Structure 1
Amino acid sequence: MSEEKFVFDSLQDTDTIKDFLVSLTDGFERESITLSTNGDTIELNPNGLLSFTVKAKRKGAENKLSIKISWKDAAGEKPAEEASLKVS
């Protein structure tokens, strides 16, 4: 199974981050999120149930907010009849 990675790291103001989060929300509504920078692109198709984790941390003057959203593509899931248990 091949792995695709996309990383973007920068210093941004709150308005720019707010705009990014609005675009991300729109992508969840469309079930299609495309991220690109410097010729590097990844397309994700979130749908169904998603795992959602929020973490916040403050240590002195340093603050951190992490949001993690993950899911499995439907193509990778087995149909219910294949995953069921049969006893004979």
Structure 2
Amino acid sequence: MAEEKFVFDSLQDCETIKDFLKALIDGFEKHSIDLSTNGNEIHLEPHGLLNFTVKAKKKGTENKLSIKVEWKESSSVQASESAFLKVR
């Protein structure tokens, strides 16, 4: 199977990023996420159990927050008993 990639990198304000994250939430609820920009597009169908990783880093004036969600098309992975994340 051919690999499909989608990359979008830009400078945005908090409100725009909030709207993007809300659209992702809607996509997870519908099990359907479509991303497109400049003729590049990809369709994803998240379902079942997904690997979820959050990383945060501060170094001087630089801050970084990374969120990664991964899954396989047919996954039978069991949930981790200690998997708990609190975001305030």
TM (norm. structure 1) is: 0.83
| SS of residue paired to 2:22 | helix
Partner residue, 1:24: 24
Q: After superposition, what is the alpha-carbon deviation per residue over 1:30-87, rounded to whole angstroms, capped at 9, x for unaligned?
A: 000000000111000000000000000000000000000000002xx69xxxxxxxxx
Task: Please report the RMSD computed on the Cα atoms of aligned residues, expressed in angstroms.
Answer: 1.2
**2-side partners of 1:52 and 1:39: how far apart?**
28
Moved over 2 A (4+): none
| SS of residue paired to 1:43 | strand
**2-side partners of 1:56 and 1:49: how far apart?**
23
Structure 1 residue runs without a partner (length 5+): 79-88
Q: Which entry has the higher C-alpha Rg, 1 or 2?
A: 1
Asked if 1:4 corresponds to 2:7, the answer is no
Identity %: 70
Count of matched residue positions in the alignment of Structure 1 and Structure 2: 76
TM (norm. structure 2) is: 0.83
Structure with a larger share of its residues in helix: 1
Structure 2 residue runs without a partner (length 5+): 77-88
**1-side partners of 2:44 and 2:73: how far apart?**
9
Partner residue, 1:57: 57
The Cα of 1:14 is off from its aligned counterpart by 0.1
Partner residue, 2:66: 66
The aligned amino acid for 1:62 is E
